[in-house]
Amino acid sequence: MVFSAIYDTNVLIPHEIRDILMISASTRIHGVFWSEDIFEEWRRVAPREGLTSLENVVRFQTIMNAMFQDALIHREKYERLIDQMTNDEGDRHVLAAAVSQGEVGVIVTHNLRHFPPDAIDPFDLEVQTPDEFVRNQAELNPRNFIQVFLRRAERRNELALNSGRNQISPHDIANFLRDGPANMVETGNYILELLG
């Protein structure tokens, strides 16, 4: 059975975190899931907080679903489980979606306290921050991870130059992950090590 993770809403909204999580998923070291409720929450929260437009969110979601065609868990698959979950009420849909997919082993979220051990242990699940998760996955196959990272960095650089912005290097991205608002210190440092 393939090891998989489910990405909570709060790790999909910030661009840099979403981007590095998608890089991790693109390595195919692990499978990836999200749910209809996770996407609905993203569509609701990001525009309300002034982080991006609804149109951008829908565009990102369409791209993600095209890249990972089996990642979207439909509500009918986990809806009956929601009320059985004992974690934080606002995140019961996330745990229910994870439980509905037998191969999910990790919930990737910033809200660790919303998934206490007594709520997740019966389902043999772990909860990790995106920084911890990406670092752990990258260490499983560093060569594969850095190849995917470099391809994405090249594409981001092309997009930056085509829109009249300054060049962006792989080191720039790693430094921003480490030092910027994403607060992905372990991941940024590990990528810098891999880049030499």
- Segment 35-82, tens digit of pLDDT: 999 999 999 999 999 889 999 999 999 999 999 999 999 999 999 999
- Segment 134-169, tens digit of pLDDT: 999 999 999 999 999 999 999 888 877 777 888 889
Four-point Cα dihedral 81, 36, 14, 25, nearest 10: 90
165: Cα within 13 Å, side-chain hemisphere = 8
Q: Which CATH number, 3.40.50.720, 3.40.50.1010, 3.90.550.10, 3.40.50.2000, labels domain 4-130?
A: 3.40.50.1010
pTM above 0.85, yes or no: yes
Ranges of each domain in the chain: 4-130, 136-195
The sheet carrying 31-35 orders its strands as: 72-73, 31-35, 4-7, 104-108, 126-128
